[in-house]
């Protein structure tokens, strides 16, 4: 039995039919929704992490089979294994995992898959290096590549540098999708929390009037109420047309 088959069997043993019915609604898998067609076994993240820890030496071929699975939890398992292999790998191994990740973005196709992995692989890998890949991802037609661009800047923010997050936010100010509005607003909030509130406020003073409302609300969520009201009452001119 291959490691891929063993992992699949372990995940199936942890499947919960009740959660399997609930998760498709939570992750918006209906016709026309962002997760359309995704399938769920009903395995929760703590249990997926337990399976992951038992298979940190999984071979590339088995990881790719999991990553290209129609089952959400199998794709997440593959990605979490990659995160750990990246963390433990040498320079060559890190580069190989980074390349594999970017070559398979079509399978990193829900917000949790992106959020749990993009900062730790893409963000880590390009920190202090050429960041042009984030521009390409931010301008992609793929919703998930755009979200990868946004969440990758979280690593920069954790290192105390908010400039790259603001740059990517500027590219996505007129994005049409709610999941990008939420992600950008979240990163703007984290710039204020972890880097510089002056940086965040400077960005908001310049762009609040054209930001999607959801993006703005996420960005100012922890501001004092008078300051929140100030930004919320800024004349709003955004038409959400993505550039």
What digits encode the pLDDT tens for the residues 12-50? 999 999 999 999 999 999 999 999 999 999 999 999 999
Work out the angle at residue 11's Cα, subtended by the Cα atoms of residues 9 and 12, and round it to the nearest 5 degrees. 65
The closest alpha carbon to 93, from 44, 45, 40, 56, belongs to: 56
At 101 the pLDDT is 98
Question: What share of the chain has pLDDT > 70, as a percent?
Answer: 96
Average pLDDT over residues 72-78: 98
What digits encode the pLDDT tens for the residues 203-235? 999 999 999 999 999 999 999 999 999 999 876
| Whether the predicted pLDDT of 73 surpasses 90 | yes
What's the mean per-residue pLDDT of the chain? 96
Q: pTM of the prediction?
A: 0.95
Q: Rounded to the nearest 10 degrees, what angle do helices 45-53 and 72-88 cross at? A: 50
Residues 34 and 156: their CA atoms lie apart, in Å, by 27
At 92 the pLDDT is 98
Residues 185 and 109: their CA atoms lie apart, in Å, by 20
At 237 the pLDDT is 61
Widest CA span in the chain: 62
At 234 the pLDDT is 77
Residue 74: CA count within 13 A, CB half-sphere: 25
What digits encode the pLDDT tens for the residues 132-161? 999 999 999 999 999 999 999 999 999 999
Residues 100 and 79: their CA atoms lie apart, in Å, by 11
List of domains in the chain: 1-90 (1.25.10.90), 117-243 (1.25.40)
């Amino acid at each position: 039995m291959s490691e891929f088959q063993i992992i699949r069997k372990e995940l199936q043993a942890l499947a919960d039919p009740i959660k399997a019915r609930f998760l498709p609604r939570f992750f918006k898998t209906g016709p026309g929704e962002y997760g359309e067609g995704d399938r769920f076994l009903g395995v929760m993240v703590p249990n997926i992490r337990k399976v992951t820890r038992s298979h940190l030496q999984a071979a590339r071929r088995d990881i790719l089979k999991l990553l290209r699975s129609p089952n959400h939890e199998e794709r997440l398992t593959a990605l979490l294994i990659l995160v750990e292999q990246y963390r433990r790998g040498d320079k060559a191994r890190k580069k190989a995992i980074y390349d594999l990740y970017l070559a398979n973005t079509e399978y990193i196709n829900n917000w949790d898959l992106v959020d749990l992995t993009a900062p730790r692989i893409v963000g880590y890998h390009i920190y202090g290096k050429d960041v042009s890949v984030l521009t390409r991802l931010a301008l992609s037609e793929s919703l998930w590549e755009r979200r990868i661009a946004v969440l990758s800047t979280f690593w920069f923010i954790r290192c105390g540098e908010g400039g790259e997050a603001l740059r990517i936010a500027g590219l996505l100010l007129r994005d049409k999708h709610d999941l990008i509005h939420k992600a950008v607003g979240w990163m703007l909030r984290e710039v204020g929390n972890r880097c510089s509130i002056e940086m965040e406020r400077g960005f908001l003073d310049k762009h609040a009037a054209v930001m999607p409302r959801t993006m703005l609300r996420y960005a100012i969520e922890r501001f004092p109420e008078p300051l929140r009201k100030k930004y919320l009452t800024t004349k709003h001119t955004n038409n959400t047309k993505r550039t």
